[in-house]
A and B are shown apart, each in its own frame.
Chain A
Amino acid sequence: MSNDNASSKEKVTTTDEFIKGLWKDNPVFVQVLGMCPVLAVSNTAENALAMGLATAFVLLMSNILVSLLRNFVPKQVRIASYILIIATFVTVVDYAIQAISVELHKSLGAFISLIVVNCLILSRAEAFASKNTVWKSIFDALGMGLGFTFALFCLGAVREILGNGSLFNISLFSEGFQSWIVMILPAGGFFTLAIWLLIINGIQTRKTKS
């Protein structure tokens, strides 16, 4: 903790920024942000993963740009400019996914454009990137983005296994398995989210008690 440790102290804080998004401040399980894509696109593991990664990319790029421009954008128009920046990267992602695979673009459909209104990205721009250095913002975005992807995948995997009897389109059960169609329907999203929130909150309360 002496002065010559200043650089390592800096490192500790950046890893902290990274870790907090993954677990302590997980955007889905703790902050409960961005529920629209969480509930809508988590019906299969593949969709959940693709959506999570697309969101993480937009989050990363917008955090970098917002942080770079943080001294240049006047306070009054900051929200408008954040939305402009986010929408730009969403459009970029939309084209990129189309260029990577038509199939993937087909399955994500309208939800890609909905990343614009994911309040997770706007909240990171407002609460973090506009007040911190680019370096820290990158780690914050990576942590939050991967945390979001992880949470979406948790939901998607459970819903696909129970609702479709498969994981990544690979059948897990024998022919006799009666899939729970409700898990793929919107209601299943709420059920699964509730169960995950229960589990995660249970673990965290136990942690703070002990």
Chain B
Amino acid sequence: MSEVANIKTQNLDGSKKMLLAMVGIGIISALLIVSTFELTLPRVQRLKAEALEKAIFEVLPGTVKTEAFGVNTNGELFKMKAGDKTETTIYAGFDSNEKIVGYAIEASGQGYADIIRILYGYNPDKEILIGFQVLESKETPGLGDKIEKEVHFLNNFKALDVSLANNGKLENKVITVKQGEKQNPWEIDGITGATISSRAIGNIIGTSTTELVPILYHHYKKNHQKPTESNE
């Protein structure tokens, strides 16, 4: 009898110890994680904002000032206030004379591994896309991530045709073709070995430009004659 009681108290002691150990380690872990999160958060946010800013300047050469816009349900641009969240964000880039250089447009879509988020630059004066950057992707390293690195692929976005037809819609939808088969100015020369990823970029840009380029073109036509308006 006494032996059984002994085992019981031992077990109780044992589980108390186990509980104590697990809770103790849990608290240490939680403290460590929370403090690193708090410590790194300002820097991570700053780096992300910087990366976005840098991307905007890169896709819109000649920009000195940017302004964020959202698109409302009527298909018109409105100025975003701090803290606003919209489905699509458009950054208008202004040069030193307060004239619109172009628009940097955020777009996203399904890639091979996960959603790809990109930023591309639109020049409404020449009606072409002038720049492209991947903001976020989880594409296979060494294969799918060539969409960020391959020079011949990135060269597609120096003058990609997105001109409007007379009916106010996009004349030709942007599309990705097989590597080396690009014939028209609105086609993207794809990447062998990153077929799905480069096609995904074509789809993302195709969908986004079809919707947004007409809106942006009108916004540009309305605003660039009276550049002071953007000063408000």
Q: Mark B32-55, 1 if CB is under 8 A from A, else 0.
A: 110011001001100110010000
CB-CB under 8 A from B136, the residues of chain A are: 106
- Assuming the A-B contacts A44-B142, A74-B17, are A84 and B26 also in contact, with contact meaning beta carbons closer than 8 angstroms in the complex? yes
Residues A77 and B22 in contact, CB atoms below 8 Å apart = yes
Give B136's nearest chain A residue, CB to CB.
A106
Tell me which of B21, B33, B48, B143 contacts A102 (CB under 8 A): B48
* Bound CA–CA A127/B114 (angstroms): 38
B191 CB, min distance to chain A CBs, angstroms: 11
Contact B137 A81 (CB under 8 A): no
When the two chains form their complex, are residues B138 and A85 in contact, meaning their CB atoms are under 8 A apart? no
Contact A84 B29 (CB under 8 A): yes
Select from chain B the residue with minimum beta-carbon distance to A110: B138
Residues of B within 8 A of A65 (CB): 28
Distance A169 CA – B145 CA, assembled complex (angstroms): 13
Mark interface residues in A77-91 (1 if CB within 8 Å of B CB, else 0): 100110011011101
**A184 CB–B CB distance under 8 Å:** yes
Complex contact A91–B18 (CB within 8 A)? no
Q: Is B180's CB within 8 Å of the partner chain A?
A: no
Question: Does B227 belong to the interface (CB within 8 Å)?
Answer: no
Given that A88-B33, A96-B40, A102-B51 are known contacts, is A109 also in contact with B138, CB under 8 Å in the complex?
Answer: yes
- Assuming the contacts A74-B17, A84-B26, A102-B47, asked whether A91 and B141 have C-beta atoms less than 8 A apart, the reply is no
CB distance from B139 to the nearest CB of A (A): 9
Chain A interfacial residues counted at CB < 8 A: 37
Collect the chain B residues with CB atoms within 8 Å of residue A110's CB.
138
Within 8 A of B (CB), among A113-131: none
How many residues of chain B get a CB closer than 8 Å to chain A's CBs? 29
Once A74-B18, A81-B22 are accepted as A-B contacts, the answer to whether A95 and B36 lie under 8 Å apart by CB is yes
CB of B29 within 8 A of CB of A88, answer: yes
Of B142, B149, B193, most A-chain CB atoms within 10 Å: B142
B156 to chain A, nearest CB (A): 19
With A76-B18, A110-B138, A181-B193: A91-B33 Cβ-Cβ less than 8 Å: yes
14 contacts between A and B (CB under 8 A): A69-B21, A69-B25, A72-B24, A76-B18, A88-B32, A95-B44, A96-B36, A102-B44, A102-B47, A102-B48, A106-B136, A107-B145, A110-B138, A163-B142
Chain A interface residues (CB < 8 Å from chain B): 41, 43-44, 47, 65, 69, 72-74, 76-77, 80-81, 84-85, 87-89, 91-92, 95-96, 98-99, 101-102, 106-107, 109-110, 160, 163-164, 169, 181, 184-185
Chain B residues with a Cβ under 8 A of chain A: 14, 17-18, 21-22, 24-26, 28-29, 32-33, 36-37, 40, 43-44, 47-48, 51, 136-138, 141-143, 145, 149, 193
